[in-house]
Amino acid sequence: MAAGRPLRFAIIGAGMSGILAAIELRRAGHSDLTLYEKADRPGGTWRENTYPGIACDVPSHLYSYSFAPNPDWSHHFSPGAEIEAYFERVAREYGVTPRIRFGDEVVRCAFEAGRWRLETRGGHRDAADVVIAATGVLHHPSLPEIEGLSSFGGACFHSTRWDHDATLDGRRLGIVGTGSTAVQIVPALVDRVAKLTLFQRTAQWILPQENPEYTEAEKAAFRRDPATLARLRANLSQLFAQGFANAVVDAASPQMKMIEDLCRQNLERSVTDPELREKLRPAYRAACKRLVISPDFYRAIQHPNAELVTEGIERIEPEGVRTRDGHLHPLDVLVLATGFRADRFVRPMHVFGAQGESLDERWAKRPDAYLSISVPGFPNFFLLNGPNGPVGNFSLIEVAELQMAYILQLVERLRSGECRELCPTEEATARFETDREEAARRTVWTTGCRSWYLDDRGIPAVWPWTFDRFREEMARPKREAWEG
């Protein structure tokens, strides 16, 4: 890297994208950086979520950094503990871990006199030229508002705060929710508990997806020839984009019809009891909600000790869950698999821009960001996997790598002295949002369901175009979209 203005970086979060940001900054020649992590170790969502059955729904060799392939993934879709170990290993091997301040959550970040001033919960203060918010999307639990929830007499916890001290074997387990998390928990525990009761508000389409182990011979071949792994990752990326990612952004696409047919056939062929089958049949199109993949959920929910309850919950009592038909479902353990507050992003951290405006004020109605990366009035503040990005249908590692390459081009303008501050214009941000909202109406996410993708207006808060378009947008910043 040619000589230029030395820059100091603060990276907030040491999950997948924070580790990536640190590695890519160092590869670009930037050495003055600190990562702030609220927990005691890296890993992000894979550190937070430890529930039984947790796994990634993106193929493992695609859900890996392009520069750090892992020949030893155990399965095509690997379990959460293995993914967390991968991120910890990469952080250690690439020299990121010593640069992390663990247990020191950033609570305030303000742009003053041309620099960002940071304060942590522990009282530490720092100043940085550039802040990269790698705070993640799915880590703030969404707790249901159910009468009597605090009165339950047994162990009760959200799936992302799993109580590993709670006794499950031979007990009566209740699970509230039927999203991806619950669909993974049910098969993992149904053989262990005396009874499993799944409280379903909305049925989910389940895409059948086997999860075979990689053989030792396959792993050895990956280790011998790294080019094989590179080709596999490229092929998976292409298949994932063409077969799924690009399908959901066009509700009328042939690929979308094929996905729907596969989901429908899976339900028809897998569930033998016609009454249960109809309870499990959604009243909306496949992939309108985040598409759930599972090789064994339908088998598990048909287990003799499993019960699917579709009657609404009236209240929680010390002995269990009472539904609106008056029936009390006695339970020993209650798990809330009720998802996340996906609109929090950097919050609850308080962020103040160049004119003193807070991000809370800016986002009072809903979060916005130009290309999901940066917000007008908040110079040199960049987000990875920020608002309205490709969280719904792409591999977030691929997304973060492309976003980081884009951010590094902006950082180079700061380092070279071409400018001292950079943020997107209001015009570019408004134009992006207008185009995005119009395109979002043609996606499968607007075909008649309620999901965490939708904002307060019912518009999907996600990237509504193809992956090819995302690559094109990330290739080079448009100069006219940025001011500073």
DSSP string, 272-302: --HHHHHHT--SS-TTSSPPEEESSHHHHHT
Q: How far is CA 397 from CA 113, 232, 439, 477, in A?
A: 34, 16, 24, 20
- Burial label, 375 (beta-carbon count in 10 A; 0-12, 13-18, 19+): buried
246 has a pLDDT exceeding 90: no
Q: Is residue 387 part of a domain?
A: yes
**Do 298 and 436 have their domain in common?**
no
**Do 299 and 448 have their domain in common?**
no
Q: Is residue 371 part of a domain?
A: yes
**Do 133 and 157 have their domain in common?**
no
**Do 397 and 447 have their domain in common?**
yes
Q: Which of 318, 336, 354 is the last residue of a domain?
A: 336
Q: Which of 314, 336, 358 is the last residue of a domain?
A: 336
Q: What pLDDT is stored for residue 342 in this prediction?
A: 64
Q: What pLDDT is stored for residue 239 in this prediction?
A: 87
Cα-atom radius of gyration of the chain, to the nearest Å? 23
Tens of pLDDT, residue by residue over 46-72, are 999 999 999 998 999 999 999 999 999
Domain extent for 405: 9-140+341-483
Query: Averaged over 252-276, what is the pLDDT?
Result: 96
CB 245 within 8 A of CB 237: no
Q: Is residue 162 part of a domain?
A: yes
Residue 1 — pLDDT band, cuts 50, 70, 90?
Answer: very low
Q: How far is CA 129 from CA 36, 166, 385, 421, 479, in A?
A: 15, 46, 21, 9, 20
**Do 91 and 159 have their domain in common?**
no
Q: Which of 277, 302, 336 is the last residue of a domain?
A: 336
Q: Is residue 116 part of a domain?
A: yes
4 has a pLDDT exceeding 90: no
**Do 406 and 298 have their domain in common?**
no
Q: Is residue 319 part of a domain?
A: yes
Tens of pLDDT, residue by residue over 115-145, are 999 999 999 999 999 999 999 887 778 889 9
Q: Which DSSP state fits 79?
A: B
pTM across the whole model: 0.95
CB 207 within 8 A of CB 262: yes
**Do 387 and 411 have their domain in common?**
yes
**Do 444 and 295 have their domain in common?**
no
**Do 128 and 170 have their domain in common?**
no
Residue 3 — pLDDT band, cuts 50, 70, 90?
Answer: low
Nearest to 444 by CA among 291, 290, 288: 288
CA gap 359, 373 in Å, rounded: 14
Number of independent structural domains in the chain: 2
Q: How far is CA 80 from CA 4, 21, 59, in A?
A: 42, 22, 13
CA gap 64, 68 in Å, rounded: 7
**Do 66 and 174 have their domain in common?**
no
Q: What pLDDT is stored for residue 452 in this prediction?
A: 81
CA gap 15, 88 in Å, rounded: 9
Q: How far is CA 11 from CA 104, 274, 453, in A?
A: 12, 53, 26
Q: What pLDDT is stored for residue 437 in this prediction?
A: 95
Beta strands 106-112 and 115-120: pairing type? antiparallel
Q: Is residue 262 part of a domain?
A: no
**Do 71 and 23 have their domain in common?**
yes
Query: Averaged over 401-428, what is the pLDDT?
Result: 97
Q: Is residue 239 part of a domain?
A: no
> Six-digit token pair at 343?
């609109």
Neighbours of 318 (CB within 10 A): 9
Q: Is residue 72 part of a domain?
A: yes
Number of H helices, E strands in the chain: 14, 21
CA 478 to chain centre: 27
**Do 396 and 360 have their domain in common?**
yes
C-alpha dihedral sign at 144, 366, 133, 82: positive
Q: What pLDDT is stored for residue 242 in this prediction?
A: 83
Q: What CATH number is attached to the domain comprising 179?
A: 3.50.50.60
Tens of pLDDT, residue by residue over 312-371, are 999 999 999 999 999 999 999 999 999 877 677 898 899 999 999 999 999 999 999 999
Q: What pLDDT is stored for residue 241 in this prediction?
A: 83
